[in-house]
Amino acid sequence: MASALFVSFCVTWLAIPLLCDHWLTAKDAHADSSGKIARWVDARYTRVVRGLTLRPSRMLLGIVPLAAAAAFAFTQVGSGFMPSMDEGGFVLDYHTAPGTSVTESDRLVRQIEQIVQSNPNVQTYSRRTGTGLGDGLGEPNRGDFFVRLKSGGRQPIDTVMNDIRTQVEARVPGVSVEFAQLMEDLIGDLTAVPQPVQIKIYGDDQAVLEATARKVAGALAHVSGVVDVNDGINPAGDALDIQIQPDAAAAQGVDPQWVAQQVSDLLAGNVATTYQVGVKAMGIRVQLTGAKALTDTGLAQLLLRAPDGHLFPLDRVAKLVPVTGQPEIERDNLKPMVAVTARISGRDLGSVIGDVKQMLGTQPLLPKGTYYALGGLYEQQQIAFHGLMVVFGAAVALVFALLLFLYERFRVAAAVLAMPMLAAGAVFVGLWVTGIELNITAMMGMTMIIGIVTEVAIFYVSELQSLTREGMPLEEALIVAGQNRLRPIAMTTLAAILALLPLAFAIGQGSAMQQPLAVAIIAGLIVQMPLVLLALPALLKAVLRPKSQ
């Protein structure tokens, strides 16, 4: 955009004068293009501005309602991270019970396939079992679908996802699913947390953390708009705990360490020797044939050879105790942590997080010694919003510094800066009326409004200064400056609004991504004309002292 503005300046500064000199004549320069409509507008504008300059306090009749509407809309408008859009496809993540084999997972997931295939909105799909699109560590009980919808004549993507989710939950018990559009899923993979809602629970006792996570997940499931709740407890599957009996081992003439080493050598193998390959020595590992396919019964009958040469089975010196569902232990900054996650459907991120905070603050869910922090895409949203607010503040500060340098009067600079600040407040009204969330693209549009409205206000004040330098009284110059700048300001404002309308109506593929930006700019442009041409003259009349006029 900066490049476009620079090119535009060069064209206006160099090319336009040369073209006008070549094509226009002196007659064109003195032609009166004002018609009946223009004269009628000038008369009405003169009457309104004269009344405002005589009593500048009247401008509060317009500014106060605008400020009040902006404040009310700020409390009502939802907030999000990225703009909501129909990408034409989504990712369906699934996982079965821990320890489920690939064969059993495939049998269960084929039922989900039938549900996906039967949906009339689906064009095609692909499935992975034991791996996923994120290319992370694969497990036999996990995988995903990528579902592509038809390009036209179908239901909205949120409706399709909710329909498939409802059918899977009702017809395929034992399988947990999560739904996300592709961009949301990719951003989640990049940030390592794909879910919008993540409640990170910290504590020192793993058992207390798991119990607390289950309670928080149960309460979170009752929050409106929350779907695909996961308690964050990820069992790693069944295991066998080999408990060596010292007395039984001594009866066989061995000790527990010897038994553990023998079992490790048989199951995992042992490097017996090496052979030379060029300059590199390659190890030769000796391992029991079929060690990886042993069942619990086969492991119990695993034969060990004592130092005196006699053989005995493992279960003679050890007990094999099944351990079910050993959970993964996760740490964050070296602190034990369990993350409860969820996705959102039908609501904005900000309002859902508000309800989550209220739930965690009012219900006795966290025992003593535990605390929580919010992560997920909400955390990324807060980081992005903080950065954009810094950019917004820097833009306001730089614009104010430019105005002070240009006019060398604090009051004039403050009066001019008040116009873009009021226009920025109108952005919240525009988002609230259109039902669009405040997200990073909308905040970019609000930052751009500061520069756009300031530019138009400078046009007006420059014309005002030119008239006063020629000796025109301030009261008359305020009106004439508005009359002279009314048509250029109106034309530039309408041209910008018309250019942004296709984006504001989300016409064309991918336009929904920039829709919040377009709506934000249009909302600021709508109030730009009355602010600059009506409120600014009254404000300048109020702040300029007679000796400085």
pLDDT of residue 548: 47
Of the listed ranges 193-197, 349-353, 493-497, the one predicted with least confidence: 193-197
Angle in degrees, CA 21, 24, 27, rounded to 5: 125
Of the listed ranges 268-272, 347-351, 372-376, 544-548, the one predicted with least confidence: 544-548
The token pair at 133 is 């699109």
Does residue 287 register a pLDDT over 60? yes
* Domains of the chain, CATH where assigned: 35-76+409-544 (1.20.1640.10), 86-183 (3.30.70.1430), 239-323 (3.30.2090.10)
Give the whole-angstrom CA distance, residue 494 versus residue 46: 22
Angle in degrees, CA 254, 257, 258, rounded to 5: 45
| Residues facing residue 330 across a β-bridge | 337
Cα dist from 275 to 282, 286, 393, whole Å = 5, 14, 68
Sign of the CA dihedral with 108 first, then 109, 111, and 112 last: positive
Does residue 392 register a pLDDT over 50? yes
| Residues facing residue 240 across a β-bridge | 322
pLDDT band for position 28 (cuts 50, 70, 90): low
Higher pLDDT, 287 or 373: 373
Closest to 159 measured CA to CA, from 348, 167, 197: 167
Is 143 in contact with 127 (CB distance < 8 Å)? yes
Highest mean pLDDT among 64-78, 100-114, 505-519: 64-78
Does residue 506 register a pLDDT over 90? no
| Residues facing residue 474 across a β-bridge | none
Does residue 291 register a pLDDT over 70? yes
Is 101 in contact with 162 (CB distance < 8 Å)? no
Does residue 519 register a pLDDT over 90? yes
Does residue 32 register a pLDDT over 60? no
Q: Which H or E run contains 337?
A: strand 335-344
pLDDT of residue 140: 78
pLDDT of residue 549: 46
Angle in degrees, CA 56, 542, 416, rounded to 5: 105
Q: Average pLDDT, whole number, for the chain?
A: 87
Is 128 in contact with 181 (CB distance < 8 Å)? no
pLDDT of residue 500: 92
List, for residues 433-443, the tens digit of each pLDDT value: 999 999 999 99
Closest to 205 measured CA to CA, from 328, 323, 337: 337
